Amino acid sequence: MADPNTDDYMAMQYLPPAYVHKLANGSLVHPGMFNLFGPGANCTLDLCPIHWSVYRYRPQLGVNALFITMYSFLLICHFVSGYRWRSWWFTACMVAGCLVQIIGYAGRVELWYNPWNFAGFLTQAVCITSAPVFFTAAIYVTISKAIDFFSPNLSRMSSSCFYWSFIVADAICLVLQGVGGVLSTISRGLSQDGVDVTRAGLILQVIVLVVFCAFFVDYMVRYARYLRHTHPEIRRGEEIGPRQMTFFGGLSGAIGLILGRCIYRVVELSEGYLYSSRISDEIGFMVFEGLFIALAVFALFIGNPGFGFKECEKRALSSGGARGRSTEDVELYNTLRR
């Protein structure tokens, strides 16, 4: 800090206002006197103005606490529904994703107390960025098992190939986003390499989601045509029951929300962390990252395979497996809940 009686103090008065900050005791400080970003960051709200921080805003405590509460509630909902319907793999992915989100938003709470807290910055950057990978993994596994029941012969690839292709791609997305966060730590945010690796993981996630949607839409169209051809009494739009329609609607909504969020994050990180105007848009972050993913997690609660196919088991048990597709309904339910 510069003393008012020194030449340094006089010199700093001629610097642009954005580069000089006057403390309560009258002393002047400038960014060159502090480590503003990285593990050794030593700014605090008492010493530095908020526009010297990486985001140039103080994350809102109430909003981030709300997201922590929402994900905690959704975690409990997914755990209870998973236990109720025995959809263990789906539930494990959803619970893991919610836990990572909670940790990430706890990091943003730390940034409210100190916007230069690098541990808090890194925690929220890595966790919030990578958490949706767990949600897409739940989607890929569930849809692959649904295809395996409905009619695997109609799929352009086997269910096991479908499963492993997208899960492996999802794992690569997770690794890239995690490595990007680590590289940002090593470089103290001064290198673009970490940001580029993170963006590569996000771009790959967008590509994988688009390819997945293309395969899934193709399969559902082929399945609907097959049913109408083999069962002329089935009218258009009645190929699956209302519960299954809700199930697929929840999954489709979640996919769309996650896809929109990934595109937003790719654009947001296009300028890196330092000197970026895009990452300073807190409202955009809260909407496209916070709200979109929270809605996707809720949509996946509706898209739980147990909810979608529990009624099938009831119909099968009431009919003793003697009529129509009731026995197959039991197989579907048992397949999806594993």
Span 233-284, pLDDT tens digits:
666 655 567 777 888 899 999 999 999 999 999 999 888 776 678 889 999 9
CATH no. of 50-337: 1.20.1070
Integer Cα distance of 103 and 131 in angstroms = 10
Q: In whole angstroms, how far apart are CA 234 and each of 101, 225, 237, 238, 241?
A: 43, 11, 8, 6, 11
Q: Residue 22 pairs with which residues in a beta bridge?
A: 28
Q: In whole angstroms, how far apart are CA 78 and each of 11, 59, 71, 263, 274?
A: 60, 28, 10, 26, 37
Integer Cα distance of 25 and 3 in angstroms = 10
Residues with Cβ within 8 Å of 168's Cβ and at least 6 positions away in sequence, in order, are: none
More confident of the two residues 4 and 44 = 44
Residue 310 confidence (pLDDT): 57
List phi, psi (to 5°) of 21: -130, 135
CA torsion, ordered 266, 270, 271, 272, to nearest 10 deg:
60
Residues with Cβ within 8 Å of 126's Cβ and at least 6 positions away in sequence, in order, are: 104, 177, 178, 181
Span 89-99, pLDDT tens digits:
999 999 999 99
Question: What would the mean pLDDT of 79-85 be, rounded to a whole number?
Answer: 92
pTM: 0.84
Q: In whole angstroms, how far apart are CA 35 and each of 21, 38, 64, 269, 271?
A: 15, 7, 26, 22, 21
Integer Cα distance of 97 and 37 in angstroms = 28
Which of these, 209, 331, 195, lies nearest to 262 by C-alpha position? 209
Span 137-195, pLDDT tens digits:
999 988 887 787 677 888 888 878 888 899 999 999 999 988 887 787 666 656 678 88
Residue 336 confidence (pLDDT): 39
Rg (CA), the chain: 25
- Alpha helix ranges (H) inside the chain: 7-12, 61-85, 88-113, 118-130, 132-150, 159-186, 193-230, 242-268, 282-285, 292-302, 305-319, 326-337
Q: In whole angstroms, how far apart are CA 104 and each of 11, 131, 132, 154, 279?
A: 42, 9, 12, 41, 16
Q: Which two tokens stand for residue 243?
A: 């519960």
List phi, psi (to 5°) of 56: 60, 20
Residues with Cβ within 8 Å of 239's Cβ and at least 6 positions away in sequence, in order, are: 223, 224, 227, 228
